[in-house]
Structure 1
Amino acid sequence: MRKEKIFRASKYLFLISISFLSLFPLLWMFIAATNKSVDVLAGTLFPGTNLVENFKTLTANTNLYRAMWNSFKYAAVTTLASLLVSSLAGYGFEIYHDRGKDFLMNILLLSMMVPFAVIMVPLYMLFGNLGLLNTTAGFALPTVSTAFLIFLFRQSSRNFPHEVIEASRLDGLTEVGIFFRMFIPIMRSTYAAAAVITFMNAWNNYLWPLIIMQKESARTMPLLISNLTAGYTIDYGVLMLAVGISILPTLIIFLALQKNFAEGVTGSAK
């Protein structure tokens, strides 16, 4: 009995230590946001009184609200479009299955091996000719349909009960009606997982916005944070505050959908 208690206490102590080490960088970032740059460089681990001053400096030297709105708008549009397009593709690959679709799926999976840097220049030239620079469509289109999301929805569709499809057809529902009225509600956990992944990737996207968003009014939060590090002197208190503000939307999205996230990744349906 005593050995069990010691083992349990050791286990919890180990887990608490690992959790603290994992959360410490996040905690230190918020602490640094309340201090002056000199205190941050000195490695202080205590909250300061410079939070309001850092926020005033940040808003005075950058277009913070515009960058936040741009990032949210781009990420939201990309997420909604990706969920619709990728889930339709994944649903079609599995529900209307044949060997030709298996071959096409393999080609799509091979495309994951191609680095974005390889297609970056052709994409920029194409979008420039189409007049899509500095636009939401230009930001979203390259990632609206990804092999990963299509594969995720395809695998999850394997757990979708085919009896529901047959019963819906007997009740007179069209194929489109079955997808929107039956598939989407049943597979909500998969949609939640895909939404978290897509939103976070779109929000944190740096390279593509750096290329396509050439106007200051179209810049996103990653670009704003990058600009804060481009000067001769860096105000680390202001920088940490900007990073802290930047992670809040993704943190809120994850916390709101975390209950369905693990279930959606495993591809289960209820």
Structure 2
Amino acid sequence: MTISTTSPRRARNRDGRRPTRAGRSILLTSGLAITLAAVLIPFYWLVIASTHSSGEIFGSPPPLLPGDHLGDNLASLQDTVSFGRVALNSLFIAVLYTLCAGTVCTLAGYAFAKYRFRGSDALFGVLMLGLVIPAQVTLVPLFKLMADLEWLNTYQAVIMPNLALPFGIFLMRQSMGALPDELLDSGRMDGCGELSLFLKVVLPPMKPALAALGIFLFLFQWNDFVWPLIVLRDNASFTIPVALASLQGVDDTDYGAILTGTAVAAIPMALVFLALQRHFVSGLLAGAVKG
């Protein structure tokens, strides 16, 4: 009696059947390809539509190749909403907000992670309630506060209310919680003051988390629409989302110009992500688990 020593997996391979691992790999690759197509197709159509007029965009079939109206759409944007000025407004506000809010969130996260004071856990819990409270609930009191401060139609009215962003503080607290306390104690024994300790010992290992925080804050402010719409009154101070919304008319809407402005607005977001993508995932993972 002959006993076969060939494993069932190898026997199936010889019969022409794919191994389970290969089948799973094919399914995974197919799923990723479908997901990638679902994500990229809208962006592709956005870029293509930005080069066509409104009539061509709603034609049948819709355009799939670049057109020759990009210059006309850009000129219409500039003539209607002074798009160059609007883009500079958005860039200035987003960069300044990222720097200021990043500083506030980093300092607050460090304080919650490495300093123990009475009521710190309760205070952090109250702060985290901001993650579950809808932003619309605070619009009226914030507007009243900005009016009392005479900050309406100013950049500080757009920037100041969201400096202490709960998610940013949470991310930095979790990331800084992974730093060994012994490292900080060693720095203090070497004569470092608290500010020097923060700048020279705490911040260098936090570069991935800071990059993730910077991307999140920049995109949050760059894409913000409701709050700038409420506090900004002058067309010259509009941000890109507010300016594009003003192009929508009751009887006539220049969709070619709107889609061109949307495509141009996506460029800074892509550049920021590409510049910091190496640190983005590792920064989020560092903030996901407290060491």
TM over 0.5: yes
Amino acid at match of 1:88: L
Task: Describe the SS at the equivalent of 2:213.
Answer: helix
Q: Which of residues 7, 17, 30 is equivalent to 1:13?
A: 30
Spell out, residue by residue over 1:130-164, the C-alpha distance to the aligned partner (whole angstroms, 9 max, x if none).
12122222111111002211111111111112222
- Give the aligned residue type for 1:175: E
Which residue number in structure 2 is paired with residue 194 of structure 1?
Answer: 213
CA apart distance, 1:115? 2.0
- Output the amino acid matched with 1:36: S
CA distance in 1, matches of 2:32, 2:134: 37
The 5 A counterparts of 1:77-96 are 77-96=96-115
> Who is 1:121 aligned against?
140
Identify the residue that residue 58 of structure 2 maps to in structure 1.
41
Deviation at 1:165, TM superposition (A): 0.8
Q: Could you tell me how far 1:15 is from its partner in structure 2?
A: 2.1
Offset at 1:266?
1.4
Hey, what's the Cα distance between the residues in 1 that align with 2:154 and 2:229? 13
Separation in 2, partners of 1:24, 1:131: 45
What is the aligned partner in structure 2 of residue 163 from structure 1? Answer: 182
- Deviation per CA, 1:155-193, whole angstroms, max 9, x where unpaired? 111111222211211221101111112211110111111
Q: CA deviation at 1:6?
A: 6.0
Percent identical residues: 31
Report the Cα distance in structure 2 between the residues aligned to 1:116 and 1:10, rounded to whole angstroms.
40
Give the corresponding residue for 1:145: 164
Moved more, 21-30 or 36-45: 36-45
How far apart are the structure 1 equivalents of 2:190 and 2:254? 64
**How many residue pairs were aligned?**
269
- Taking structure 2 as the reference length, what is the TM-score of the superposition? 0.87
Shift of 1:33: 0.6
Q: Residues 109 and 169 of structure 2 are in contact (CA less than 8 Å); yes or no, is this contact kept in structure 1?
A: yes
1:236 to 241, 244, 255: 255
Structure 1 length as normaliser, TM-score? 0.93
Of 8-17 and 172-181, deviating more is 8-17
Letter in 2 for 1:22: V
Moved more, 2-11 or 237-246: 2-11
Of 160, 176, 180, which aligns to 2:195? 176
Deviation at 1:8, TM superposition (A): 3.9
Distance 2:166 2:211 in 1: 18
Which of 228, 232, 252 does residue 209 from structure 1 map onto?
228
Q: Is the 8 A contact 2:235 2:243 kept in 1?
A: no
Q: Do residues 110 (structure 1) and 140 (structure 2) align?
A: no
- Cα RMSD of the aligned pairs, angstroms, is 1.8
Amino acid at match of 1:94: A
Provide the residue aligned with 1:257 in structure 2: 276
Q: Deviations over 1:174-227 (max 9, x none)?
A: 011111122111101111111111110101111111111111111100011101
Query: Displaced runs of 4+ in structure 1, greater than 3 A?
Result: 4-11
Q: Which has the larger radius of gyration?
A: 2
